[in-house]
Amino acid sequence: GAAGGMSDSQRHYLTVIKNNADRLKSLVDDLLDISRIETGKTKLLRVYLDIGDVVNDVVNGHLRGRRQDAGKEMDITCDIPADLPTVSADKEKVTRILTNLVDNAFNYTPAGGTIRVSARNLGDVLAVTVADTGIGIPAEHLDNIFDRFYRSESEEVRAVPGTGLGLAIVHSLVEMHGGTMDVQSEQGKGSRFTFTLPFEPVVKGQTAELVTREIGNG
C-alpha cells in the first residue's frame, strides 16, 4: 500500500523496468555514436598517447571494478612493455575501443577464465590485443562480427544483454585512426581481438609541411 514498503513483486517489476531502461539508453547511445562516426561528425583529438596509461585506466579501473562488482572470479593480466613508443591518437576514443573489447571479453568469459591485455611494437604500428578464454565465436560468424546489430543466435550470447553495436563502433574508431582490426577465435576456447594504431598519423599533405618547416628552420 501507499503507507507500507514495496512488495517483492513490485520490487521485481521495478528492477525489470530499470534494466530495460538501461538497455534502451545503451542502444540510443550506441546508435548516436555510430551515426556520428558514419556521418563524419566524430573528430579525432590526437595527442601523443602512452598506451600503457590507457591500459592501466581501463584494466585496473574499469575491468577489475566490474570483476569485483559481479563477484566473478577471473584472472586478469597485462603485458605492456615499458619502452613502447607513444602513438598519435585520440585518448578518449582509444579508451572507448579498449573498454568495449575488455567488456566483451568479460561478458563472454565464464568465471574461472582469463583475460589478457598485451601490446607490442610491430615497427610502423602499435598492436594491442585483448585475449580471453571465453565461449569463442563459431568460424562461420567471424566475417560478420563487426557488422552493425550483428549478434550470434547461440543461447550463451543471447544470455548477455547487448546492442550488437559495440564491435561495430570499435571497428569504425580503429579505422578512423588509420588502424586495422583483427579477430581470431575458436568456439569453446576463446577469442583474440587485435587492433593496430599507426605511430605516425596518416594525414594528407602533412609530410610536405613537416619537410618545409625543417628546411625553413635550417
pLDDT score of 215: 41
What angle, 0 to 180 degrees and rounded to 10, lies between the N-to-C axes of helices 91-107 and 166-176?
A: 150
Alpha carbon distance 181, 146 (integer Å):
9
Q: How far apart are CA 140 and CA 125, in angstroms?
A: 29
If you average pLDDT over residues 112-138, what whole number do you get?
A: 93
* C-beta separation of 47 from 89 below 8 A: yes
- Quote the pTM value: 0.76
Which domains, and CATH codes, for the chain?
10-202 (3.30.565.10)
pLDDT-based confidence at 206, cuts 50/70/90?
very low
Q: Which of 43-57, 103-117, 143-157, 177-191 has the lowest mean pLDDT?
A: 143-157
Of 74-83, 124-133, 143-152, the poorest mean pLDDT is in: 143-152
Contact 195, 170 (CB under 8 A): yes
| pLDDT higher than 90, residue 188 | no
Q: What is the pLDDT at residue 149?
A: 64
Highest mean pLDDT among 36-45, 104-113, 154-163, 193-202: 104-113
Judged against a pLDDT cut of 80, whether residue 1 lies above it is answered with no
Per-residue pLDDT tens digits for 156-180: 554 555 566 788 889 999 999 999 9
Is the pLDDT at 153 greater than 50? The verdict is yes
DSSP state of 143: G
